[in-house]
């Protein structure tokens, strides 16, 4: 059996993101969480918040490919200073990126909807609280909207201070 990442698949995934309070949904292409390669399609609706995080394990690289829409990918240093901002979109100058382990990052959609394909080494390991940036708002907090607006307009070299807001 094969899984087709066609228009029907993408529309269903985007519809689930529309219905989700977190404004995103995912579909595991792998069968089990202990598989050596994890593959998932993730739909992101504008306004979703993926808190900046890193994967400190030495084998936790990630490969991201834009399938639909456009996303902003932001790299930070461990103090929360923006190191680089990249736009990924299918057919654009940059449509994918591989992230090395222990790299602080976040992603958010620039278009109303976006879908990415994420490939990473398994097995799946849930994120610990220490994997999330302490300098960024917690998901669901009142500061999230302000942070998203800030990161969208911030330049390389700038950092966000939670204490200000």
| pLDDT tens digits, 123-164 | 888 888 899 999 999 999 999 999 999 999 999 999 998 755
Given a cut of 70, whether residue 74 has pLDDT beyond it is yes
Report the distance separating Cα 86 and Cα 136, nearest Å: 19
Considering the entire predicted model, what is its pTM?
A: 0.93
The total domain count for the chain is 1
CATH number of the domain to which 24 belongs? 2.60.120.10
The answer to whether residue 14 sits within a structural domain is yes
Q: Which helix (H) or strand (E) holds 153?
A: helix 144-153
Backbone angles phi, psi at 136, to 5 degrees: -120, 150
């Amino acid at each position: 059996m094969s899984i087709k990442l066609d228009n029907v698949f993408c529309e269903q995934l985007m519809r689930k993101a529309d219905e989700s309070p977190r404004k995103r949904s995912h579909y595991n292409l792998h069968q089990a969480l202990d598989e050596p390669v994890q593959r998932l399609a993730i739909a992101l609706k504008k306004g979703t918040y993926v808190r900046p995080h890193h994967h400190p394990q030495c084998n936790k690289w990630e490969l991201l490919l834009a399938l639909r829409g456009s996303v902003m990918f932001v790299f930070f240093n461990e103090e929360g200073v923006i190191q680089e901002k990249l736009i990924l979109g299918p057919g654009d100058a940059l449509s994918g990126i591989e992230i090395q382990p222990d790299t602080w990052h976040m992603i958010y959609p620039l278009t109303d909807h976006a879908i990415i394909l994420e490939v990473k080494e398994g097995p799946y390991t849930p994120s610990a609280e220490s994997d999330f940036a302490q300098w960024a708002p917690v998901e669901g907090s009142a500061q999230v909207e302000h942070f998203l607006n800030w990161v969208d307009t911030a330049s390389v070299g700038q950092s966000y201070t939670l204490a200000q807001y």
